[in-house]
Amino acid sequence: MSNSNQVRASHILIKHQGSRRKASWEDPEGRIIMNTTRDTAVSQLKTVRDDLTSRYSDCSSAKRGGDLGPFGRGQMQKPFEEATYALKVGEFSDIVDTDSGVRIIMRTG
């Protein structure tokens, strides 16, 4: 049984010159990290996020980075709607099963 005060997360980390530890499993000497600015790291992270949506989504919204635009209750399949409304802006859902297939949702508004 988990403690209700605990949370769990997965993430993608891109280190940069300002990172406290300038080495990684991929760059043990820190050569790349030392030459990566924060702005470059942010840009890389946004590219990864957008690439995940556009490369792997079977929805036509992939061309818009997965953006479905604003919608209200009763406009989407029920499991999709419930999962989206349960998220805070910026949060990702777990795997959501719908009649259209399985998906991960990020609430953007």
Instruction: Give 43-94 pLDDT, tens digit per residue.
Output: 999 898 888 887 889 999 988 889 999 999 999 999 999 999 999 988 889 8
Pairwise CA distance, residues 98 & 107, whole Å: 17
- Taking the domains of the chain in order of start, what are their residue ranges? 12-61, 68-109
User: Token match 């499993």: residue?
Assistant: 25
pTM over 0.75: no
Pairwise CA distance, residues 11 & 3, whole Å: 21
**pLDDT exceeds 80 at position 6:** no
The predicted pLDDT at position 56 comes to: 87
* Mean of all residue pLDDT scores within the chain: 89
Confidence of residue 11 (pLDDT cuts 50, 70, 90): confident
Phi–psi pair at 102, nearest 5 degrees? -100, 150
Task: Tell me yes or no: is domain 68-109 CATH 3.90.1520.10.
Answer: no
